[in-house]
Structure 1
């Protein structure tokens, strides 16, 4: 969840695009970091120069035993694969490709992506194909998605598995061939070029200049495109050849951030100084570097110290020819030490300490030079640290529990807030429920003169004072409401951001005697209409389901009710690919995109309870409420559903209902009470 101060300019298209690309790359690498760590430990122990290898500092095993694990050439000329080479050559790229394919088209996309990636892995024999896997995996999954789109939801019952398996099999077959013959040579050439560039930078002593790009990119959350797109693949290949790579420490070195936070601790002012000790512990020991980003945004000149510190760390590793055996993730001093290659400990430790010392020195001088101005700003209450925290979360694209503790204020308004708009992609489901929850909270707080409505993002017209969206949609909302305060949430039922918005409104409100007359409540128009939710549209399943299966069942119920056509299922899946419909409190409300209006014939709701749960893209869901809305007829009952699921006791009663009729009755009872 993120908040951005009013008047903040929308991020540039290029920055947002690079950020999304970097996030996608990170999404393929980060879930598989544990495999990188395992491979790093094997490398550190069993390759020739490893701790237990033939030429290692500790020869605790027989030569043959270390070769069996590390691999290599025996004296009689036979080759042992061991564990190290197959893992880096095959397993890690395949894990990356599967993860990338799954991100695009769920599990089947992951399977097809892995098969296609094997084509580029084998076709580029002798080259570690991380980059090829990052391309082949998602691309093959996307091709499968496009190929299957014409018949999605149109296959006769009983033939779905047959069609799905054969379509995926054929796509995997052709994409693997294409990757082997066409993609592999291109990626081998690209990898050679990138490796040569990095090698040239090392040989010429210019690699420390990379910090000029990396350190500012970290603060803007753009580093993933560089780190996971270039440094990790090339560093891993270097590690297979030399047993180490300094590229793993270009971005992950915790020294520069630690030095800056230490300078703030001693010479900073206000909230920055007060929160620096905790941030230092989290950053240096926990490896969560994002905790220091707000300090840089609040005082951008400190980036100079970070660049100087980062360059010092790179230069130190170059001088000592030291490095890590695998990525250090998160960038904690503990992770760095665990992944340090044998014989590299002096260089790596010095790179951390010297980078911290240089960063501290430069930042301390900068803070002392501006101390008088900083103290004056603190006295005036305009140090800007809280706004910097909000901007950092905006750059990240989602709420951070670490950043959330740095500042107490999350939204900054420069004009009175009278019109609050809750916006989502379609404007007919999640936004209506979120608006209902917030509207009730505002009413309970006794705030008058503030209206809360819901709209599609495309319908925003520049008149809102405060806009609430899902984190993935905030950038789009900013483009249409550039002067509004923007608050992003990821839990629609009980987001703490709602209470913060209420507090903001309370702080700006006038005394009761001067308060304007209460504006009419802008509850969605329309009636609950008994036909919107019927007992036949309510089901209870003892088992579990995948997200796609749950969406399919919701779409089938709505289609059986005559509310939608078969094309609505595709629109519901497209909505999930854009932004999750998980609402919080074990509730998801799948519905179509704004472009799906033609597939809606009437208004209807479906309610399905999965007692075994549904994995909704990482969130646990028990209740799936499908929505099809024509006009506003469904919005009143949605408002009541929101009120229902915002109360934990009522959710418990819904989970305890033993029959669909009882579950329907609970929904109807709440509807009658709220109507």
Structure 2
């Protein structure tokens, strides 16, 4: 089946930064579980952790404990006597595992498994040649190595004699990877080390002067415009991980993830808003605070642009409280749910983090309440609820694609008779090929696609259909070995490029699409289920 979907082409600096941020997010987000695992091990076993352990934490003397595994000889005495010193898990994981995972993901996004291999080897050069964890280096070398081998492969594509393809492919990739590793060791690693030192110095300068809360003046507007991923995953994640390795926690993981500002804005709309904004805000609070989907409150800000001041003030207040209490997380909190934040918090930060969320929510609530009260009479006279539906459309335009949670908000504002105006989705399934594996695909392969896969999986189970798998993946990781791919409309053309032989269904709303019933009907027919 072929779908007819139009993609919106954007331009300008905002779109380029947004795409760059999405690409960075695509490299980091699939590897968040690895960051969490490393964070747990760090908080447990380093010298200042909950359960200090020299073997796992990488400190102490092997002779004193009698454990010779994973040790290296280091000179620890004035007379040159050497003793085994533990490598542990903490150091190798942040030095090698996490950057190499990011490099592999970035390489695969550009050129599949082949790109991932070359990207990993290239990244190994900057890892060994640098004095700091090479997250930024991995984000550069992984995609760069993949792109270069892709260009090299084009040079002799279709020109190699039969039987020599594997020989040429393996040696060309090995040569390119080796050259990049050496170049990374001598050339790129020192540059990235210097850049990292500058960024760390800038953050420390803000902390020393008590100016770190000012970062929220940039981060909060960037969130609403979906420009924050470049800052969050390109800077905060890498610098935060380095801080965790040194101190066991990092405040940088709390700057963007704090749900307080959004919750305060939504509470104000639920009390002082009118129309659709007032009716939908309570449900949005649950999604934002517990689900961690911050984009749910962006349309409310866009419907009343002055409320961006509330988000900025709330974010700054929250950071100020975190600075005051010296709080931090052991790994990135993704999504930015209060549950994920508290799970990743170190024990001495629970109180400070809770207060930072409360204070930031209170500040943003008060400012938003003043703004809404000031315009309430005029809005009621005009019957104007801030045009939330238009703000949802603008938010999705800023994001560059449809959103399941925002689609729910938009649907709530459309009368029942106009439901089809909301669901400008695909035509009926027409291909007769059997369907045994279904993939939901989005940019990062998490979040919205995971929710959609869960919805359809439950429908298939309730229908009594067996033998059908439903999974979620990122667009970049799609391979042409699936039967049906379900994406949001703006992403369907990209999915078709990756999986030309599959059937494609494009939807507006992953959480509640009429296309799912068509899929279920076809599966019932295929499996003979009444």
How does the TM-score come out when normalised to structure 2?
0.75
Instruction: Tell me which residue corresponds to 1:467.
Output: none
Structure 1 runs of 4+ aligned residues shifted over 4 Å read: 9-12, 75-78, 546-551, 646-656
CA contact (8 A) 1:398 1:471 kept: no
Q: Structure 1 residue 288 and structure 2 residue 287: aligned? A: no
Q: Structure 1 residue 384 and structure 2 residue 383: aligned? A: no
Cα distance change of structure 1 residues 142 and 410 upon mapping to structure 2, 3 Å threshold: farther
Judging by fraction of residues, say which structure has more helix: 2
CA contact (8 A) 1:35 1:92 kept: yes
- d(CA) in 2 for partners of 1:306, 1:11: 26
CA contact (8 A) 2:304 2:386 kept: no
Q: Name the SS for the 1:239 alignment partner.
A: helix
Of 224-233 and 9-18, deviating more is 9-18
- d(CA) in 2 for partners of 1:44, 1:241: 11
Cα deviations by residue, 1:415-464 (Å, 9 ceiling, x for unpaired): xxxxxxx9xxxxxxxxxxx99x49x9xxxxxxxxxxxxxxxxxxxxxxxx
Match among 335, 340, 348 for residue 335 of structure 1:
340
Instruction: Tell me which residue corresponds to 1:20.
Output: 19
CA contact (8 A) 2:314 2:362 kept: yes
Shift of 1:410: 8.9
Provide the alpha-carbon RMSD of the alignment.
3.5
Unmatched tracts of structure 2, length 5 or more: 65-75, 77-83, 415-423, 431-440, 444-476, 483-490, 505-517
Q: Name the SS for the 1:581 alignment partner.
A: helix
Q: Structure 1 residue 72 and structure 2 residue 77: aligned? A: no
- d(CA) in 1 for partners of 2:395, 2:315: 21
Instruction: Tell me which residue corresponds to 2:474.
Output: none
Shift of 1:79: 2.4
Cα deviations by residue, 1:614-644 (Å, 9 ceiling, x for unpaired): xxxxxxx4x69xxxxxxxxxxxxxxxxxxxx
Cα deviations by residue, 1:244-264 (Å, 9 ceiling, x for unpaired): 111100100111111111111
- What pairs with 1:497-536 in structure 2 (closer than 5 Å)? none
- d(CA) in 1 for partners of 2:283, 2:366: 20
Instruction: Tell me which residue corresponds to 1:111.
Output: 117
Cα deviations by residue, 1:270-306 (Å, 9 ceiling, x for unpaired): 1111111111001101111111111111111111111
Q: Name the SS for the 1:398 alignment partner.
A: coil
- d(CA) in 2 for partners of 1:292, 1:362: 15
Instruction: Tell me which residue corresponds to 1:198.
Output: 203
CA contact (8 A) 2:241 2:250 kept: yes
Cα distance change of structure 1 residues 277 and 577 upon mapping to structure 2, 3 Å threshold: closer
Q: Name the SS for the 1:48 alignment partner.
A: coil
Q: Name the SS for the 2:333 alignment partner.
A: coil
Q: Name the SS for the 1:245 alignment partner.
A: coil
- What pairs with 1:340-419 in structure 2 (closer than 5 Å)? 340-377=345-382, 379=383, 383-408=386-411
Q: Structure 1 residue 208 and structure 2 residue 213: aligned? A: yes
CA contact (8 A) 1:44 1:342 kept: no
- d(CA) in 2 for partners of 1:363, 1:325: 32
- d(CA) in 2 for partners of 1:230, 1:50: 25
Match among 575, 580, 585 for residue 495 of structure 2:
580
Unmatched tracts of structure 1, length 5 or more: 54-65, 412-421, 423-433, 441-469, 473-545, 552-575, 591-620, 625-645, 657-675
Shift of 1:403: 1.1
CA contact (8 A) 1:49 1:342 kept: no
Q: Structure 1 residue 129 and structure 2 residue 134: aligned? A: yes
CA contact (8 A) 1:387 1:410 kept: no
CA contact (8 A) 1:50 1:342 kept: no
CA contact (8 A) 2:122 2:141 kept: yes
Q: Name the SS for the 2:411 alignment partner.
A: coil
- d(CA) in 2 for partners of 1:221, 1:346: 30
Cα deviations by residue, 1:576-604 (Å, 9 ceiling, x for unpaired): 99823169xxxx436xxxxxxxxxxxxxx
Q: Name the SS for the 1:152 alignment partner.
A: coil
Instruction: Tell me which residue corresponds to 1:265.
Output: 270
Q: Structure 1 residue 316 and structure 2 residue 291: aligned? A: no
Q: How many residues are paired up?
A: 437
